[in-house]
Each structure stands twice: as C-alpha cells, then as structure tokens.
Amino acid sequence: MEPAPKPPARVRESPTPSILRLSLVVYAAVVLTTALAVATWLWMRKTGEIPIEPSPHLPGGALISRMILIPGGQTDKPFYIDTTEVTNAEFCAIIHCSDTSLAPTLPAVNMTVAQARQYASYKGKRLPSALEWQRAARDATPAYRMNNVWDLVEDAGSHNVEALAILGGVLKPARLIPEGSSAPDVGFRCAKDP
C-alpha cells in the first residue's frame, strides 16, 4: 500500500494588489505632507514673520508670528507691531554685526537710526510712529510693561527719531536720538501696514 500523498505545502499568500496600492498611497501621502510642512517652515524662516490673526500659533504651538494687529479706530488706521524688540540674533543676521559676543536673545542696541531703518526695510517693515507705539502700549500688550530698552520711533511731525519706553508701567518722556547716534539702552521694534 502506498502512503497517502502529502498535501501540497501551503504557500503564504501575498497581500492583494488593492491593499498594496492603498499602503503605497498612504505612505506617499505621509511623505508628501512631511515635505510640505518642512518646506513651509523653511519658507517662513526665510521670509520673516507673517502676521496671522487671530492666533499666531500653528497646531502644536509653533510660533509663526511675533507681530500683533492693533485695530484701527474712527481716525486711526490699523497696523501690525512687533511684540518684542528686535533681538541681537535677528539684527545681526541682516546687518552682520562685528561683535560676535552679543547674547542672541537680548534686544539689539547700539545701532544707528539708519541701521534700524535698513533692517526694517529688509523685512518689509518700518519703524513705528510715536503714536502707533503708544497705541500699542496702551491697547495691546503686557510686553510693553516689561520693556528692556527704549524703542526707536519715527516722529512724523518733526521728521526726527525719538526713543520711547515704559518703565514701571509709566510712559517716560521721549528722548531725541540724533540720526547718526546710537545708545546702549536703545533698541527698536518694527511695524507694518496690513
């Protein structure tokens, strides 16, 4: 008597083509989404801050804007203004500072008015007017209550540049800053029209 034939070895079946295609589509979507997110992040870093309202945060808390919108009134136009002074790292990336020992996160100081205007212009912004700075300080932000330095502002009436500060919650009288001068306690913020 012959032994019973062995059943053929069971071959492992490969996934059906539709499951394989679906897996490839999901994988491609993940890769494309990741590439798009990285490209967007790099683009935003290159072009500077982008005013986004009402929330300046992406999901996950990634800050994409350090400007706030100061709404207009019956006689005042709306504008954006930086929530903090321009830092050494931001300033030196554009103006190329010779002092490499500057703390990158501290406000940039000791720049001339021309350098502050050059930085603002490069970023597509400008120095705020004294009235804009005061409106922002009054309306908007606790950041002004903790001023680290005096801020350069344009005085449109006299075509001079002044420095304003709030110290201890009190607006100090403006300091006139001559065009070619700089000071170790004077920095700046930028403003931008919507």
pLDDT in tens, 108-123: 999 988 899 999 999 9
Nearest to 155 by CA among 170, 183, 175, 140: 175
Identify the CATH class of 67-192: alpha beta
pLDDT band at residue 142 under the 50/70/90 scheme: low
Going from N- to C-terminal start, the domains of the chain cover: 67-192
pLDDT beyond 80 at 34? no
Q: In terms of pLDDT, which residue wins out, 161 or 9?
A: 161
pLDDT at 41: 53
CA dist., res. 28 & res. 38, Å (int): 15
Q: Which of 127, 147, 98, 123 is nearest to 45 (CA)?
A: 123
Host H or E run for residue 192: strand 191-192
